[in-house]
């Protein structure tokens, strides 16, 4: 079972493997490779000999291997005992080339995969990651240590994202009406929720309404409520969204899809700060802050007669333009991490992406913006539960054609050299200009990935190829949110 492991230093959590297998050759092999990653092997015969992950046993990641030499009934007995007394302990069924994979044991959440010997460093680290995430998700204390508040944050450090966050900070604590503009899926509701969270109305309701999803003849009742018998089917009185949001914030999403008659009624409410339920003549005062959003160009809609100009100016007191994801690709690593944490927080599994996969996503155009990215991460978590996704594992449309590095290249132009009669090749600026920061970030990620690939994932060797200090390279991996998938003690 020969496999060479070269140790540079531990960067993954300490791995402790409890082995139910009396085969001496497999024991020696596992003990050998774990020694190179500062892990520990403990051969046991009884589940009672296992120290639970919540006790101070010196290990960050505890895994159980059940050997292929055990009879199925024996394996089943161990698994049943473990899931009863230690449900957060991940179990892998061990096999080698001679025995082949063990028969699948269904119906036990703690059995999360098989593991083949001999192994590779990448497979061992993928197992450690998979086991650690499983433990975190099963441990309530771990879940509380990583709160995820996606609806109160706007993730990313790009210039566009920083500008939006700055504008939110400027207007959140005022009573000004805000109009959020941008393509579908850019995170307009995230901005609205953040505005509410940072306002003096934070302790009051935040009530969203999608004006485009409610039929025009029902929207009035939805917004203002109705009295019993106001129309067919109104068997009882009902509050509208304005009443529900009293003292808080009413978020009118897709305001551009609202019918002209409803626009008139909304304008009156904004002007008079009062309304009547459908079927009533009693005026109800309202203390509600309005935040509206749309993916439509309202000025064009005004020109063709689809939107009232007076309502537009009433709503457009403080506009916030949400940039599409393709204009802030440097935010993608942070967004990916946040979306993964949300899936973990909701107990729907987990997944990790390699630097190559992240780089590939940074070159995709994202017509569906952040919503499309969120859907992709959820799909990958289903396809590769607790696994590590490389560029080749991405759906085809997210993989760049050809070499990834080629997508960062610019057209070449000949310029005069430093010596008379000489020329040099240099990148030529495209006619429509270029986002220099995004281009340099993409180029940097691509070169770092090449160096890591050529160095078998050993960070120190990759740093030498890039003529930089190891600590500097680690910081760059952390900047892109990639250090846990990339950094490697060595093989």
Are 398 and 364 within 8 A, CB to CB? yes
Could you read off the pLDDT of 458-472 as tens digits, one per residue? 888 888 888 888 888
- CATH code of the region 328-486: 1.10.8.60
Distance between CA 239 and CA 340 in Å, rounded?
Answer: 37
pTM of the prediction?
0.61
What is the pLDDT at residue 170? 94
Distance between CA 474 and CA 487 in Å, rounded?
Answer: 7
What is the pLDDT at residue 463? 86
Pairing of strands 318-321, 352-353: unpaired
Distance between CA 178 and CA 434 in Å, rounded?
Answer: 31
Q: What is the CA radius of gyration of the chain?
A: 29
Distance between CA 307 and CA 213 in Å, rounded?
Answer: 17
Secondary structure of the chain in HEC code, one letter for each residue: CCCCCCCCCCCCCCEEEEEECCCHHHHHHHHHHHHHCCCEEEECCCHHHCCCCCCCCCCCEEEEEECCCCCHHHHHHHHHHHHHHCCCCCEEEEEECCCCCCCCCCCCCCEEEEEEECCCHHHHHHHHHHHHHHHHHHCHHHHHCCCCCHHHCCCCCCHHHHHHHHHHHHHCCCCCCEEEECCCCCCHHHHHHHHHHCCCCCCCCEEEEECCCCCHHHHHHHHHCECCCCCCCCCCCECCHHHHCCCCEEEEECHHHCCHHHHHHHHHHHHHCEEECECCCCEEECCCEEEEEECCCHHHHHHCCCCCHHHHHHHCCEEEECCCHHHCHHHHHHHHHHHHHHHHHCCCCCCEECHHHHHHHHCCCCCCHHHHHHHHHHHHHHHCCCCEECHHHCCHHHCCCCCHHHHHCCCEEEEECCCCCCEEEEECCCCCCCCHHHHHHHHHHHHHHHHHHHCCCEHHHHHHHCCCCHHHHHHHHHHCCCHHHHCECCC
Q: Do domains 15-144 and 159-325 have the same CATH topology?
A: yes
Q: Which two tokens stand for residue 140?
A: 């309530």
> What are the extents of the domains in the chain?
15-144, 159-325, 328-486
Distance between CA 276 and CA 285 in Å, rounded?
Answer: 9
pLDDT, averaged per 10 consecutive residues of the chain (491 residues), comes to 42 71 86 78 84 49 82 85 84 80 71 83 75 69 42 73 92 95 94 93 93 87 86 81 94 94 93 90 92 95 95 96 92 89 82 85 92 94 86 89 50 53 57 66 78 79 85 77 45 37
- CATH code of the region 15-144: 3.40.50.2300
Distance between CA 325 and CA 75 in Å, rounded?
Answer: 49
What is the pLDDT at residue 414? 53
What is the pLDDT at residue 418? 53
Are 68 and 102 within 8 A, CB to CB? yes
Q: Which residues of 164-189 are buried (b: 16+ CB within 10 A; e: fewer)?
A: bbebbeebbeeeebbbbbbbebbbbb
Which is the CATH superfamily of the domain at 159-325? P-loop containing nucleotide triphosphate hydrolases (3.40.50.300)
Are 222 and 210 within 8 A, CB to CB? no
Distance between CA 434 and CA 441 in Å, rounded?
Answer: 13
């Amino acid at each position: 079972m020969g496999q060479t492991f070269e140790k540079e230093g531990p960067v993954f959590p300490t791995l402790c493997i409890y082995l139910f297998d009396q085969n001496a050759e497999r024991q020696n092999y596992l003990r050998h490779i774990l020694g190179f990653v500062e892990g520990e092997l403990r051969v046991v015969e009884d589940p009672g000999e296992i120290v639970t992950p919540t006790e101070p046993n010196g290990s960050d990641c505890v895994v159980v291997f059940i050997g292929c030499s055990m009879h199925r009934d024996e394996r089943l007995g161990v698994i049943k005992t473990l899931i009863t007394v230690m449900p957060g302990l991940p179990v892998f069924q061990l096999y080698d080339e001679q025995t082949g994979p063990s028969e699948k044991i269904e119906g036990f959440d703690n059995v999360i995969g098989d593991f083949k010997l001999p192994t590779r460093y990448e497979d061992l680290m993928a197992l450690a990651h998979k086991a650690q995430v499983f433990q975190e998700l099963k441990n309530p204390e771990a879940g509380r240590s990583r709160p995820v508040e996606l609806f109160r944050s706007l993730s990313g450090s790009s210039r566009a994202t920083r500008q939006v966050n700055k504008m939110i900070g400027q207007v959140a604590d005022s009573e000004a009406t805000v109009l959020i503009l941008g393509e579908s899926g850019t995170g307009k509701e995230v901005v609205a929720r953040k505005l509410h969270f940072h306002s003096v109305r934070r302790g009051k309701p935040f009530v969203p309404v999608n004006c485009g999803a409610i039929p025009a003849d029902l929207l009035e009742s939805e917004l203002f409520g109705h009295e019993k018998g106001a129309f067919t089917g109104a068997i009882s009185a009902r509050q509208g969204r304005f009443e529900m949001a009293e003292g808080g914030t009413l978020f009118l999403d897709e305001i551009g899809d609202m019918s002209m008659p409803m626009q008139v009624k909304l304008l009156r409410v904004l002007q008079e700060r009062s309304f009547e339920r459908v079927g009533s003549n009693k005026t109800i005062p309202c203390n509600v802050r309005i935040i509206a959003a749309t993916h439509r160009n309202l000025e064009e809609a005004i020109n063709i007669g689809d939107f009232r100009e007076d309502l537009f100016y009433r709503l457009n007191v403080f506009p916030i333009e949400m940039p599409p994801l393709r204009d802030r690709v440097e935010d993608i690593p942070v967004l990916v991490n946040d979306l993964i944490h949300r899936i973990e927080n909701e107990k729907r599994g987990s997944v990790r992406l390699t630097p190559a996969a992240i780089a590939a996503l940074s070159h995709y155009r994202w017509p569906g913006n952040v919503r499309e990215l969120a859907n992709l991460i959820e799909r990958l978590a289903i396809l590769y539960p607790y696994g590590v996704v490389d560029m080749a594992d991405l759906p085809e449309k997210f993989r760049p054609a050809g070499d990834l590095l080629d997508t960062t290249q610019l057209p070449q132009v000949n310029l005069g050299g430093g010596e008379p009669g000489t020329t040099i090749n240099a990148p030529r600026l495209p006619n429509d200009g270029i986002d220099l920061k995004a281009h340099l970030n993409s180029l940097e990620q691509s070169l770092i990935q090449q160096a890591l690939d050529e160095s078998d994932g050993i960070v120190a060797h990759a740093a030498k190829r890039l003529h930089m200090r190891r600590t500097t390279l680690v910081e760059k991996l952390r900047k892109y949110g990639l250090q846990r998938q990339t950094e490697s003690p060595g093989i």
